[in-house]
Structure 1
């Protein structure tokens, strides 16, 4: 079995990526990050799923980096997570500068250490407008950088890069996945708010697939 590292946030995109990798026969090592995000409930979901699947899982505590990102509503106590659609201008406050480059770099280091051949993460086409580090150009360049940064070539791959969340959910449905085991809301409350950009995109995906979101 080929070994890969999956960056697993506990959200529905990375949950689908994780299960896709397992179903395709990879030996999966899950890696989650606590970077001071308000919605750290996703990490609880990630831990529970990995325990259930009996796959190796690390949660890396890098909360101290949140002090560098005072402009992001996902980590700053001084900025509220906005409501609205992802295409709205106010959604830019949810960008954590350079987040995916940082997380992918750490995942690549982990992959080299355990002799894994790749790092997978859940970027998709719905992220392209608002998140630069989810765009095809970024994935391509990170893949190239990974292969020259180490003696061991590690491939950076986003299996849903050209698919939106509606398509991701459709694929997950075909895999018979249970999305009650995921967390998407950015606001860090006990229940999903249903109004932030992340919730809105999730609800739209379920609606377009003629399903009801299983979480409250």
Structure 2
């Protein structure tokens, strides 16, 4: 199955790219510049494509992204610290982001005669990101079946949609994903901050998967306090 992977350069999507390369036919990685506050992830996505010897396309939708105001990922709003389960993390939602990016990706996949578009949505995203949930992926598939009727069916491949971040780490370890070459932090400093939602989730996932975490964090211990009392509570 010829598959185009939507790759941000984060741990989940790079692991997905490795999974597709191992199990199917990876035809390329596609990333989006939607005006996010830093480009560190995008550079990691490009490196992943080079490592996997596939084409890399960076689609510039930043002019459109400027109209998606109000998110800490696109505006000059402080990225909150803490666990994804905190209500404060809702400020990191970019309205309709995944629907927009997938629509573009499906158009490109159709033009290139690919069979599938892969996205690394996972169970940990469900709490605050509505366009990462199974209901969204099912509805999007139905919409694309209608949109591309007569042009060939393209599957939306989301193997992690019901899996935890820890399970993705375990999968990446099995595949040999170079975790140190991926980026999760929303703040985009020289190192992972260790305090934002994605850093906390990343650090916790390595612990739960019992996989060594090669990531350098400015605050490597904050995750313990942030996860205390949450669903995947890890004792301090």
Task: Report the TM range for the smaller structure's normalisation.
Answer: over 0.9
CA–CA distance in 1 between the matches of 2:26 and 2:44? Answer: 20
TM-score, structure 2 normalization: 0.88
Q: Which runs of 4+ in 1 moved over 6 A?
A: none
Counterpart for residue 27 of structure 2: 28
CA–CA distance in 1 between the matches of 2:18 and 2:176? Answer: 10
**Matches of residues 1-216 of structure 1 in structure 2 within 5 Å?**
2-77=1-76, 79-150=77-148, 151=150, 152-216=152-216
| Shift, 1:191, TM fit | 1.1
> Could you give the per-residue CA deviations for residues 118-172 of structure 1, whole angstroms, max 9, x where no partner exists?
1110000000111000000000010111111013211112110110100000111
Asked whether the equivalents of residues 5 and 26 of structure 2 are also in contact (C-alpha less than 8 Å), the reply is no
Residue range with higher mean Cα deviation, 129-138 or 32-41: 32-41
> Could you give the per-residue CA deviations for residues 17-60 of structure 1, whole angstroms, max 9, x where no partner exists?
11100100323321011111123200111111211211111011
SS of the residue corresponding to residue 96 of structure 1 reads: coil
CA–CA distance in 1 between the matches of 2:101 and 2:185? Answer: 20
> Could you give the per-residue CA deviations for residues 62-107 of structure 1, whole angstroms, max 9, x where no partner exists?
1112321221000102x11111110101000000000000000000
Structure 1, unaligned stretches of length 5 or more? none
Structure 2, unaligned stretches of length 5 or more? 217-236
CA–CA distance in 1 between the matches of 2:211 and 2:16? Answer: 20
CA–CA distance in 2 between the matches of 1:104 and 1:27? Answer: 17
Asked whether the equivalents of residues 21 and 28 of structure 1 are also in contact (C-alpha less than 8 Å), the reply is no
CA–CA distance in 1 between the matches of 2:209 and 2:155? Answer: 32
Counterpart for residue 226 of structure 2: none
Asked whether the equivalents of residues 139 and 157 of structure 1 are also in contact (C-alpha less than 8 Å), the reply is no
SS of the residue corresponding to residue 187 of structure 2 reads: coil
Corresponding residue pairs, total = 214
Asked whether the equivalents of residues 125 and 161 of structure 1 are also in contact (C-alpha less than 8 Å), the reply is yes
CA–CA distance in 1 between the matches of 2:68 and 2:190? Answer: 24
| Shift, 1:179, TM fit | 0.1
Larger Cα-atom Rg: 2
SS of the residue corresponding to residue 33 of structure 1 reads: strand
Residue range with higher mean Cα deviation, 148-157 or 84-93: 148-157
TM-score, structure 1 normalization: 0.96
SS of the residue corresponding to residue 66 of structure 2 reads: helix
